[in-house]
Structure 1
């Protein structure tokens, strides 16, 4: 492995560069949600049909994450991280210039292509440049922006949409991207593999097509423009591609994701449980800002500030994750907490415009706390039993599933909301609120149902090390 010499100054700059890149990526995952109604009004679209703006970003990241590690091995961490910042910044500028929904979606794909490489390549740069004894504090430092980004994202998005314009949601990335790109090119420690493994291009294309086809087909079935017959055909092709990859991986000596990963029971249960639980819980950052603005009449900045209790309570609840999981075990925590998260999501079906704002804030804070505990437990369960020889592929697969589940969550929420909107739309102001209520019940049920997956864990599965659940990015 080739690497440039790293001084103490270079190590600190590497940390800050990766942290800033991670912050940009996580911020843009949430900052857009609060700005969707303003975007819809500007582009002449319904705010309830804007899910494609979110799906384009998260799905692109899910598709490209599996290739990011190989690209860093082949071309070096510096050039790949620099290219990621350039793509992300260019995509941000083009998003701000979009004149139609289709243009905005196209440029979100470009932005997602850059975002897909920021986190995994940044982590790889730290792993290859920092001494082992300094890895833990380094990774802890980089994890902080991943928590701060979602915390300030909805508020920043709402404030900019109301007091400037939604275009600034993307324009704020440009100066940060320019400074970060220059600093990366001049200071980021470079490393690459001397003899990188051969990339499984065939397997990657099957997997990427399968993920994209399934997600786009589900979005098409929601009534977003694609007719139902082509959407069903695309869905079938997507399933076929995923099955073909699974068969391909069993006969390929070096697939992207080795099938023996699923021989690890905690990894398999954690992955499947996380996928389905996130399809429900991951819909909430998309649904809540829309509910507050479209049905409850909140301004964008007010709606963004209402999301602060969710993130703040989530950060505070991480303090109890370690002792709780250590004492009760993963199965008890995940089964009961999954049921609690699903029940709280269903409680949002009772929310209304005449209730005191304190009731709304309390419900949002409690949901944020239990949802954060859910993510911490699921994330650490997946990686706890990975070994050095499969840690890289396992972590990459888990990162891909995280982004894919976010895409599927918004796709599912958009489809359900669209269906209930059509069913309840009789021209009355309260019709959209009834559609939101029914949607919260459905996504809550989806989340609660995933508790059956976590029930398959052995009762004695607990953290093997205390540090397992102290570095977590939801």
Structure 2
């Protein structure tokens, strides 16, 4: 099939459609777990393995994605990842036992691990840096749409049809994605791919998977009875040790599977660290909002999903303003001010009460989605502003690892905050007021992320944002001093 030249919008939409499928599938299954358990004859708690197995598979194989793209080409890996994800979806829909469902979800996780970082890599290598913000804006929307659309769509499906349609919905999106990726995505491939760092892959995969498992298990409120706290601590400790061993080992390697020397690039380092802290706060929202609206306010899953959809609507509204704001004010100012605004807005969620009009809640969530979309796009664009072409694969892999880990930490942080509130109150069931301290806490975490952007230069990322004013002023000052 011939390859056609595609605009950055076409490439971004192809990748965004695949990422939306993956993000939606990740969250939609949680609503269907009780129905799945009844049909396959398994205990509801054990069916949680369908979620855990996917996340572990995703975490294990993400470090491999950059090397795979360099070795076999981004187009081949991306289209193959969609095909693998589709095969896993079909296997999930056909599963008649817990074992079969878990195996199918592992297959899905492998496909998802390739789709996200390799899809981003396609954009990074094919789109000029001057157009990067516009392209990355399209990739921000799936990450915001998936978590809020998953619960209401899942609730609708399990209410009026079979849970198997949750996975069958992926068929048209995947088939279209495969065809369009083969037609439009260029055959991007490293000229001389390095040998696979097998030991590094094992260390990063086990380390990331252990940490994600520990924080995700903590994030399922309340904690399972069969999982004592020391087990989670031991698992997290094992993961941290594995990553520390990888760090010590990779410093002397020429081509490690994840190049930690990228942290020597100031814009990449501050975007990754600040973005990780920011995502910890954002990762708490998918836990807090549904629990508050359903358990605290007594709303149905479908009704709460319609309210939380406001966050995604805000992201859509923000898409057109992102480029203008970053060009006018630069990354440093926007990321600092916007992080403070994000934290403040999240703190206002502590004011939500069952008696508050739903339209007021909707508008406050809309404002939050609007601001978060700007921050996500800005952080993603800044991350790659100074990364060279040859290091893009490793940078995309590194970013994907940190994003997965920080979102999991966010979910665990939210559950821990609720648990501590319950302990202090001496209650056994969540009430609406129990969520107030959690929102204040995670809002504070989001505000803290602004500190990482204080050290940015005023012209940081100007080659991406187009904010050349500071570059010109800096050049003029240097020229004056030279005289």
The residue number in structure 2 matching 1:151 is: 145
SS, match of residue 114 in structure 2: helix
What is the alpha-carbon root mean square deviation over aligned residues? 4.1
Matched, 1:200 2:201: no
Q: Distance in 2 between matches of 1:53 and 1:444?
A: 31
Superposed displacement of residue 139, structure 1: 10
> Is the alpha carbon distance of 1:263 and 1:124 closer, same or farther for their aligned partners in structure 2, counting shifts above 3 Å?
closer
User: What's the CA shift string for 1:451-470, capped at 9, x where partnerless?
Assistant: 222223334535234469xx
Equivalent residue runs for 1:148-187 within 5 Å:
150-151=144-145, 153-154=149-150, 155-177=152-174
More deviation, 210-219/78-87: 78-87
Equivalent residue runs for 1:92-171 within 5 Å:
92-96=89-93, 107-122=104-119, 144=138, 147=141, 150-151=144-145, 153-154=149-150, 155-171=152-168
More deviation, 326-335/441-450: 326-335
The residue number in structure 2 matching 1:393 is: 394
The residue number in structure 2 matching 1:23 is: 17
User: What's the CA shift string for 1:216-236, capped at 9, x where partnerless?
Assistant: 233455634433333322222
Superposed displacement of residue 270, structure 1: 0.9
Q: Distance in 2 between matches of 1:425 and 1:103?
A: 41
More deviation, 367-376/136-145: 136-145
User: What's the CA shift string for 1:248-289, capped at 9, x where partnerless?
Assistant: 121111112333312211111111011111011122234323
Superposed displacement of residue 423, structure 1: 5.7
The 8 Å contact of residues 264 and 385 in structure 1, kept in 2 or not, is answered as: yes
> Is the alpha carbon distance of 1:343 and 1:32 closer, same or farther for their aligned partners in structure 2, counting shifts above 3 Å?
same
User: What's the CA shift string for 1:381-438, capped at 9, x where partnerless?
Assistant: 211122234333223322332233223322333343455456657466xx34333333
> Is the alpha carbon distance of 1:368 and 1:174 closer, same or farther for their aligned partners in structure 2, counting shifts above 3 Å?
same
The residue number in structure 2 matching 1:87 is: 84
> Is the alpha carbon distance of 1:136 and 1:114 closer, same or farther for their aligned partners in structure 2, counting shifts above 3 Å?
farther
Matched, 1:214 2:211: yes
Matched, 1:70 2:67: yes
Superposed displacement of residue 193, structure 1: 5.4
The residue number in structure 1 matching 2:270 is: 269
Superposed displacement of residue 156, structure 1: 3.3
The residue number in structure 1 matching 2:311 is: 310
Q: Distance in 2 between matches of 1:340 and 1:15?
A: 29
User: What is the TM-score when the length of structure 2 is the normalising length?
Assistant: 0.79
More deviation, 11-20/140-149: 11-20
> Is the alpha carbon distance of 1:315 and 1:442 closer, same or farther for their aligned partners in structure 2, counting shifts above 3 Å?
same
Give the paired residue count: 458
Matched, 1:238 2:200: no
Q: Distance in 1 between matches of 2:32 and 2:370?
A: 29
User: What's the CA shift string for 1:176-209, capped at 9, x where partnerless?
Assistant: 4456557878998766557531111112221221
SS, match of residue 434 in structure 1: helix
Superposed displacement of residue 88, structure 1: 1.1
Q: Distance in 2 between matches of 1:256 and 1:137?
A: 28
> Is the alpha carbon distance of 1:316 and 1:291 closer, same or farther for their aligned partners in structure 2, counting shifts above 3 Å?
same
Q: Distance in 1 between matches of 2:262 and 2:65?
A: 19
More deviation, 255-264/20-29: 20-29
The residue number in structure 1 matching 2:227 is: 226
Matched, 1:39 2:40: no
Q: Distance in 2 between matches of 1:138 and 1:384?
A: 9
SS, match of residue 307 in structure 1: helix
Q: Distance in 2 between matches of 1:434 and 1:14?
A: 46
Q: Distance in 1 between matches of 2:440 and 2:287?
A: 15
The 8 Å contact of residues 219 and 414 in structure 1, kept in 2 or not, is answered as: no
Q: Distance in 2 between matches of 1:437 and 1:138?
A: 38
> Is the alpha carbon distance of 1:166 and 1:299 closer, same or farther for their aligned partners in structure 2, counting shifts above 3 Å?
farther
Q: Distance in 2 between matches of 1:458 and 1:127?
A: 23
The residue number in structure 2 matching 1:364 is: 365
In the alignment, structure 1 segments of 5+ residues that lack a partner are 469-474
The residue number in structure 1 matching 2:302 is: 301
User: What is the TM-score when the length of structure 1 is the normalising length?
Assistant: 0.80
Q: Distance in 2 between matches of 1:355 and 1:47?
A: 34
In the alignment, structure 2 segments of 5+ residues that lack a partner are 468-483
> Is the alpha carbon distance of 1:179 and 1:435 closer, same or farther for their aligned partners in structure 2, counting shifts above 3 Å?
same
Superposed displacement of residue 117, structure 1: 1.4
Q: Distance in 2 between matches of 1:307 and 1:32?
A: 17
The residue number in structure 2 matching 1:260 is: 261
Q: Distance in 2 between matches of 1:417 and 1:374?
A: 26
